[in-house]
Amino acid sequence: MEESIGSVKVASKGQVRWNDRMDKIMIEIILEEYGFGNASGNSWKPEVYTRVCLELLKQLKQQVHPANVKARIKTLKANYFSAREVISQSGFGWDLDTQLVTADVLTWKEYLQKHLEKESYRRKCVPYYDELCVIFGDDQATGGNAITGNEANIELPSLEEMCNAEKSLPTKEEKDEVNHSSSSATRTESNGQRTKRKKSSNIDATEQGLTAAANRLADAFAHTDCSRLQKELHNIHELSREDVMRAMLLLGGEVKDANIFFHLDEDLKKDWVILYLQRKF
């Protein structure tokens, strides 16, 4: 069944089989909306679902209803917190390349003695973990398929609102202006962090904001390979998580500097990044 208004057709509410390409498009949009304050934690604006529907239709010719998007986000959220229960344990981690939960044999054995239901994570991929960490943060689920009260009470847009939504979406110029303001504010906050030690919860929030800003900058310039940048920064084990996020924020929008970093010898990259951050902050 389909519903249509004018020349735009939208799927009726019903089950949709999601694939990785659909997830990728949806997560990229949510990260951008996160930067604009429209999608984070337990506060989601209806236009987030609308925009995902329109973009899936545009890029993949896939018709979905906002209710399908909302249901998929609910599923991803439950999967994320389920995986995080394992990854947050001592001795566990997550590999960016394989997208698998990592731990040695003994650590797995001891953990599964008390949590046998998590055994599937020894082989199960956990895609987009870093991105979902930004989106959901510490908004804890309360059950296997938990959804927060604010999400449950969201009034989904009507079909007419959805079909007219493209007219109200921000222009590139408007996005650039917001990106510039957000980036400036984030840099100011980071300057203050050098002179005052903050609690770990505040650092986590800062990391999330920096990650979102890096994604927005990368979208605006569309040249820096942020996946490669993230991978190479994570390989510099001497860098703190906060340093990695700061470097992503800066290099995500500085194409020439990012290319210099990519082409350095491996034994020079750590010192180069540290010097780069000292000069910028």
Query: Using one digit for the tens of pLDDT, what is the confidence trace for 45-90?
Result: 899 999 999 999 999 999 999 999 999 999 999 999 999 999 999 9
Q: What's phi and psi for 100, nearest 5 deg?
A: -110, 150
Give the bridge partners for 8, in sequence order.
Answer: 5
| pLDDT of the residue at 92 | 93
| pLDDT of the residue at 114 | 95
Both structure tokens of 184: 């400036």
| pLDDT of the residue at 25 | 94
Q: 84-90: long-range contacts (C-beta < 8 A, 24 or more apart)?
A: 84/133, 85/118, 86/111, 86/115, 86/118, 86/121, 87/126, 87/129
Give the bridge partners for 93, in sequence order.
Answer: 102
Do 276 and 248 meet the contact criterion of CB atoms below 8 Å apart?
Answer: no
Helix (H, G, I), strand (E, B) or coil at 100: strand
Residue 16 per-residue DSSP state: -
Count of H-run helices and E-run strands, the chain:
14, 6
| pLDDT of the residue at 125 | 93
Do 122 and 55 meet the contact criterion of CB atoms below 8 Å apart?
Answer: no
Nearest residue to 75 via CA among 11, 138, 156, 17: 17
Residue 45 per-residue DSSP state: -
Nearest residue to 52 via CA among 18, 71, 26, 22: 26
| pLDDT of the residue at 223 | 52
Q: How far is CA 111 from CA 79, 91, 99, 103, 114, in A?
A: 19, 10, 20, 10, 6
Q: Which residues of the chain have pLDDT under 50?
A: 1, 4-8, 10, 139-159, 162-163, 165-167, 169, 185-186, 189, 194-202, 217-218, 220-222
CA angle centred on 23, ends 84 and 159, rounded to 5°:
120
Give every CB contact of residue 79 below 8 A, 6+ residues apart in sequence.
126
